[in-house]
Chain A
Amino acid sequence: MKRRHVSAIVNGDPVEFLTWPGSTLLDALRDELLLTGSKEGCSSGDCGACSVIVDGRLVCSCLMLAAEAEGRRIETIEGMAEDGALHPLQRKFLEHAALQCGFCTPGLLVAAKALLEANPEPTESEARYWLAGNLCRCTGYDKVIRAVMDAAAEMRQARRL
């Protein structure tokens, strides 16, 4: 079995890596590119801790083969803050204390970012259903949802100005 060469864009930068045919995108991100912000909680697409955005679409990176990343544009938690400034979602998570252990947080943030790109004005119910694929065992989701709604409001406000 030979490793295969893959070229992709990760957080805006061109990257190249070698991958085994059976390796997942999550394996490649964590082990080859050393981007360990995406977490492995289940490897079955049930917990969302490995959430990344591939060509604008939210995916569980544990369910996608690394080889499928060829030519794709991938966004991970490491690319969420821009030029040293936290994304409004990241700031609101901190302000609302929307994390306790912080393990599910990268996946929740990436999923919430995808939500607000698809729907800048979600209802609480829409936010809860969109994020239903991201398990958090610490917070009971209350402060997570508040942070997402608050970030959405702030981002809408910023867009209007």
Chain B
Amino acid sequence: MSEVLDRGVTEVELKVVGTRPIRPDGTEKVTGAAMFGADFSMPGMLVGKIKRSPHAHARIVSIDTRRARAVPGVKAVVTAADFPDLASEEYEGGESASNLRDLSLNCMARAKALYDGHAVAAVAAVSAAAAAEAIDLIEIEYEVLPHVIDVEEAMAHDAPVLHAHLFTEGLETRPLSPSNIAQKNELARGDLPAGFAAADVVMEHRYTTAAVHQGYIEPHACVASFAPDGQCQVWSSSQGQFMVRTYCAKVLDLEASNIRVTPAEIGGGFGGKTTVYLEPVALALSRQAGAPVKMVMSREDVFRATGPTSGAVIEIKLGATREGEITAADVVLKYQAGAFPGSPVGAGSMTALACYDIANFRITGYDVVTNSPKVAAYRAPGAPIAAFAVESAVDEMALELGMDPIVLRERNAVKDGVKAAYGPTYRNIGYLETLEAIRDHPHYAAPLGPNQGRGVAVGFWFNVGGESTAAVHINEDGTAVVVTGNPDIGGSRASMAMMAAEVLGLPIEKVRPIVADTASIGFSMLTGGSRTTFATGMAVTQAAQKIVAELRRRAAQIWNVDPEKAEWRNGAAVCLDPAKPEIEPLSLAALAGRSARTGGPITAEVSLTAQGAGPGFGAHICDVEVDPETGHVTILRYTAAQDVGRAIHPAYVEGQIQGGVAQGIGWALNEEYVFDRLGRMENAGFLDYRVPVASDLPMIEPIIVEVANPRHPFGAKGVGEVPIVPPLAAVANAVRRAIGVRMTDLPLSPPKIRAVIDAR
């Protein structure tokens, strides 16, 4: 009997939830039939291409498109002049707010190009060759400006200023001059000097992380059609079709009802597809050309103009008693935002100390614009960066105190009833359980060889709820369709179908889940924030429960008994009226077959704003071996425990944990944006921007911990983001213990480690 049942979230035995069925969309994905963003075509479709700035920072003096327009086959050329000049307006999109003016300017530069790769013009033509020729013939006069990419250089008083209108928010007095620091935020509690005074050991360190890309294998792609009557259609790969609709409407000043967005299968997102780059441009081109336009980014475009997440500097001062009580923490986070404000430093600040119950702390965050691509959400945005510094510092403290790193974390762990550093009071969290899971795992006691080290780190993510819609339709033969508005990035169709099947009492094979376009289902926030299984799953469950109530009502009507006397068991209505023992159960198929005479089609739709997403915690162990000759780090073994509330489909839960760990290992060891002296990205391809490959990794052992979330019908918490939070420090802590020296700058590439070993 699982924890979920013990806690009384659901009293019936679960038949589908918690099993491992084949995913409903599986066959089309292993046969090549699934349609991703670039796989869609329309008759008469044109090819769209973007002209990008070769400069990291430049004033656009003039754009001459005459020669481009003269190329045979060119049907449209657009620049910022073809888009409305929007006023600054914050819009609450998905995981984080977006400024619509900045979003528009990121799709198409106006007056200034702010990073190498910034879109400055676009063309649509009958062939890729004609479009490419026209792109080359667009003549742009630039006045090249000094640029700045390093976060601390961008914060300096004499730094080149990206935006003359940007004045630092969050200061006590309004600044007199513009700055690249968009915002300063602070979280604090207790008495910091007293906290440090109470400490026996105080340590200070400075950590840095490099900008890294989400690295989804599918480049951004869309087809857009703008009809003469103003009706727009978009087919695109994104984390949210409603997000695409909203942003297209805002950027082009259109009405949402005139835009229908159909989600393609999405080839990975990790937060990077929570915004738009191509879709508004493709619509603008289509409007001018009078034909549908397809746009597909190259890998180089993806690196230069989308994502990444922030490079950062983190300063941390930690104080603790000899007994291992952390008495004070002072953390300063400086995050690159890229060309426009909006780094994830806010979430970084809120998550930094979320695993620790510390009486005195201060967390200061700086959101800093830089001449690099505008950062996009990346899996637990901001949290891995902060956790790298905090978890490295806690590990140093454990070494200094001579304490086991798990014991030190247990000593200072948050638990139910503790007020989180970011505000709320924790309820039903499973953090200590994850620490216990790794402490008791054989991995933690396994022997290590020479040049090997074992690191431990923990991580936290809020998980979010939000607006979701789901519909359940019962077909005439008693099978069901589940409709949601959330793109399926990693198997969510399976979990949606499973929850519906569980409630309806159907086998999973009789439930067909689909992801609908924006005109076919009610609004749903995008797939992100680890919200879909929680929030959309809640809508699916409630819709299925409405169906069951309706089926009971109809059975009672047929039997001429009180609806209370019709119970739903194993996919059939059972009559409980003792006066009518002869009544046979009515199956879903039998009830569906009689629907015309009992009230018509059997369907239900539920829209809700889900609240109470349980926060997630993970605890990881990593073993490495460092080659002293080359400085190369090999990951020998990896174990990751995580509280997921309730695993709906355990195989896909494990997959989320394994995938998050792999991305975190890449962040720790290999991945970084490298810019030349002119601010141009030097490694905009998968050869030089090296994500982990199969031969880089061992098996990754997930441990699923289930402390039920009472706010979800089956106890689920979000899963996808937590697992990328601990690995950066888990790897770095393992390297520290292997070589005896603390490495503070990511990535831990062989030359850096060699240099440290040589200097040792």
Contacts and interface: CB of A to CB of B under 8 A. Distances in A.
B39 interface: yes
A58 B618 CA distance: 40
A136 interface: yes
Given A76-B32, A102-B34, A137 B685 contact: no
Interface in A111-143: 125, 127-129, 131-143
B156 to A, nearest CB: 35
B29 interface: yes
Interface in A13-49: 20, 30, 34-44, 46-47, 49
A90 interface: yes
A144 interface: yes
A86 interface: yes
A141 B491 contact: no
B87 interface: no
A74 to B, nearest CB: 14
Interface in B589-640: none
Interface in A43-66: 43-44, 46-47, 49
B659 A137 contact: yes
A132 B694 CA distance: 5
B219 A86 contact: no
Contacts of B652: 97, 100
A94 B491 contact: no
Given A97-B23, A102-B265, A137 B216 contact: yes
Given A41-B217, A42-B685, A81 B490 contact: no
Interface string B255-299: 000000000011111100000000000000000000000001011
Interface in B208-224: 214-219
A103 B267 contact: yes
A158 interface: no
B36 interface: yes
Interface stretch (B312-320, B578-586, B695-703): B695-703
Choose among A78, A102, A141 the residue with the greatest number of B CB atoms under 10 Å from its CB: A102
Contacts of B661: 140
Contacts of A38: 32
Contact of B655 (A86, A127, A134, A143): A143
B32 A78 contact: yes
B12 interface: no
Given A101-B218, A139-B655, A78 B31 contact: yes
B216 to A, nearest CB: 6
B159 interface: no
Contacts of B696: 132
A106 B28 CA distance: 10
B691 interface: yes
The secondary structure that dominates the A interface is loop
Interface residues on A, range: 35 or more
Contacts of A69: none
B663 A94 contact: no
A107 B38 CA distance: 16
A23 to B, nearest CB: 9
B164 interface: no
Contacts of A46: 299, 685-687
Interface in A73-94: 76-78, 80-81, 86, 90, 93-94
Contacts of B198: none
Interface in B1-46: 20, 22-23, 25-27, 29-36, 38-39, 41
Contacts of A143: 651, 654-655, 658
B659 A138 contact: yes
B693 to A, nearest CB: 4
B270 A137 contact: yes
Contacts of A97: 20, 23, 491, 649, 651-652, 654-655
21 contacts: A30-B39, A40-B296, A41-B686, A43-B298, A78-B33, A93-B30, A94-B23, A94-B27, A97-B652, A101-B265, A102-B265, A103-B36, A134-B694, A137-B214, A137-B662, A139-B658, A140-B662, A140-B663, A142-B699, A143-B655, A146-B699
Given A137-B268, A144-B694, 17 more contacts: A30-B39, A36-B32, A39-B217, A44-B299, A80-B31, A90-B31, A100-B268, A100-B656, A101-B218, A101-B266, A105-B29, A131-B693, A132-B696, A138-B659, A140-B662, A142-B654, A145-B699
Interface of A: 20, 30, 34-44, 46-47, 49, 76-78, 80-81, 86, 90, 93-97, 99-106, 109, 125, 127-129, 131-146
Please provide the 10 A-B residue pairs with the shortest distance between their CB atoms, ordered closest to farther: A37-B32, A103-B267, A140-B662, A102-B29, A46-B686, A97-B651, A77-B32, A140-B658, A100-B490, A36-B39
